[in-house]
Amino acid sequence: MKMIYRKGMELSIRIIVILIIMIIILAIMVLWFGKSTAQGQSSTNCYMAFSDECGRFKLAGGCEDDSTLTASDYFIKSVGDNCYPSADAAKKACCSS
């Protein structure tokens, strides 16, 4: 009995395995870069919210020594988005710049 070897079938299985490995590597790279892009977007949103709130706080006179304004009324989004741990920390950063 003579054995018939099918090289074509063997080659296609190797190619399928290589393609699966490449797809897995590509998926890992996409997830990695997607995560870093999302972090950059989050920090941009924090900076924009803080900048807007800081400008309004300074215009209202919140950084002056005799001010009666509360920081929690102005730094709602910065604290809510976890940019700053508290409104007082945001006020300190705003008034020091």
pTM of the model: 0.49
Amino acid identity at 84: Y
Would you list the domain boundaries of the chain?
10-62+69-96
pLDDT(97) > 90:
no
Instruction: Pick the closest to residue 91 from 31, 20, 73, 13 (CA basis).
Output: 73
pLDDT for 73-95, tens place per residue? 777 766 666 777 777 888 888 88
pLDDT for 9-20, tens place per residue? 666 788 888 999
pLDDT band at residue 23 under the 50/70/90 scheme: very high
DSSP 27-93: HHHHHHHHHHHHHHHHHHHHHHHHHHHHHHHHHTTTTSTT----GGGT-HHHHHTTSSSSHHHHHHH
pLDDT band at residue 40 under the 50/70/90 scheme: low
What is the spatial distance between Cα 92 and Cα 79, in angstroms, rounded to a whole number?
13
More confident residue, 97 or 67: 67
